[in-house]
Amino acid sequence: MTTRIIGTGSYLPKRVVTNDDLAKIMDTSDEWIRTRTGIRARHLVEEETTTFMCVEAAKRALENAGMQAEDIELIIVGTITADHVTPSAACEIQAAIGADKAVAFDVNAACSGFLFALHTAHAYIQAGIYKNALLLGAETLSKIMDWDDRSTCVLFGDGAGAAVVKADETGLLAFEQGSDGAKGHVLACEGRRNNNPYVSNDKAYDYVHMDGQEVYKFAVSTVPASIMRVLEQAEPCEIDYYVLHQANIRIIQSVAKRLKADEAKFPISLDHCGNISAGSVPILLDEMNRKGMLKRGHKIVMSGFGAGLTWGTALLEW
């Protein structure tokens, strides 16, 4: 018995912001952003919230799976930008969709969040504790960006992706996840200031700050190695698609090269979405599903990597 994805859904904010739009408000250009990253545009929230986007994505995934919210037993949201410290996004979604019997919680693993949610759900399913789960990866990264730092704010976008999984004979075939907390400082966000009168407030950072080149080096070495380890766990097979976290087209091309895999097997959404951290993988998966690209029996590698540092890779049969 394993864990199979039986439905997907996603939501992108209505507001599209192109590279040229950004060039009107900061010292950047379409040429720089496109050639360094592959990003042409991103969706950014105006009125939408993380929970709102998740609820829309969840409804679409449930409909795609032919499941009712009241039958869902577990909800896990991968996010670093829930609307509140508490309650969790997962609890808010549970209430909004009426998944009354579900246990709901968030996981904070940044760009690996959806993979960590999938592996956590799989562990519950393997243990026989739950038979199904609603998994989401969602971010409102625009609210934690430093909009005065052109080297980070042009890279990211907002959105939510969802998948319904259930216990089945086939599905997840192999996986691994990893963390390297010692390098956490290369991509970090300090968050809110401490208001405790007994603590001095000398922290400078309130927004995301990133050493792009260190993260780049981490990604191009860790991701292909992780994928190779996961493939070694399974029977040899031809991979139909590599659904990677959408951070930078150059990272994806480098991974393809190191794996000696055809770049055509690496679908892309970063051109119109930018980097949506935990949202990247499930949003791209939903786009592929809705385009009819995914056929029963297809072998798909999914890999998320980013802040923490964290990484998670899965091989699954569709």
Distances (CA, A) of 308 to 133, 168, 293: 25, 32, 32
Distance of closest approach, residue 120 Cβ to ligand UT7, in angstroms: 20
β-pairing, 208-210 vs 187-189, is antiparallel
Q: Which stretch binds ligand UT7 (CB under 6 A): 192-200, 214-222, 234-242, 294-302?
A: 214-222
**Using CB under 6 A, which residues numbered 53 to 82 contact ligand UT7?**
none
Question: Cα separations (Å) of 92 from 68, 99, 282?
Answer: 17, 10, 20
SS (H, E, C) 54-83: HHHHHHHHHHHHCCCHHHCCEEEEECCCCC
Residue 248 binding ligand UT7, by CB under 6 A: yes
Pick the binder of ligand UT7 from 137, 306, 308, 312 (CB under 6 A): 306
* CA–centroid distance for 65 within its chain: 20
Binding ligand UT7 by CB under 6 A: which of 15, 34, 150, 183?
Answer: 150
Both structure tokens of 49: 């919230």
* Interface segment toward ligand UT7; rule CB under 6 A; list 4-12, 26-34, 126-134, 261-269: 26-34
Q: How far apart are CA 5 and CA 26, in angstroms?
A: 41
Q: Answer yes or no whether residue 32 interacts with ligand UT7 by CB under 6 A.
A: yes
How many angstroms separate the CA atoms of 36 and 232, rounded?
A: 32
Residue in 153, 189, 245, 248 annotated catalytic: 245
Task: Look at the block and give the residue holding tokens 């990003």.
Answer: 39
216 sits near ligand UT7 (criterion: CB under 6 A): yes
Give the distance between the most distant pair of CA atoms in the chain: 59
Active-site annotation holds for 275: yes
Contact present, 201 and 194 (Cβ < 8 Å): yes
Residue from 54, 91, 111, 273 carrying the catalytic annotation = 111
Q: By C-beta, is 32 or 105 nearer to ligand UT7?
A: 32
- Tokens representing 88 are 């969790």
- 7 vs 274, which CB is nearer to ligand UT7? 274
Active site residue 111: yes
Minimum CB separation of residue 277 from ligand UT7 in Å reads 6
Q: List, by residue number, the catalytic residues.
A: 111, 245, 275
Residues at the interface with ligand UT7 (CB under 6 A): 28, 32-33, 36-37, 111, 150-151, 154, 187, 212-213, 215-216, 219, 247-248, 251, 275, 277, 306
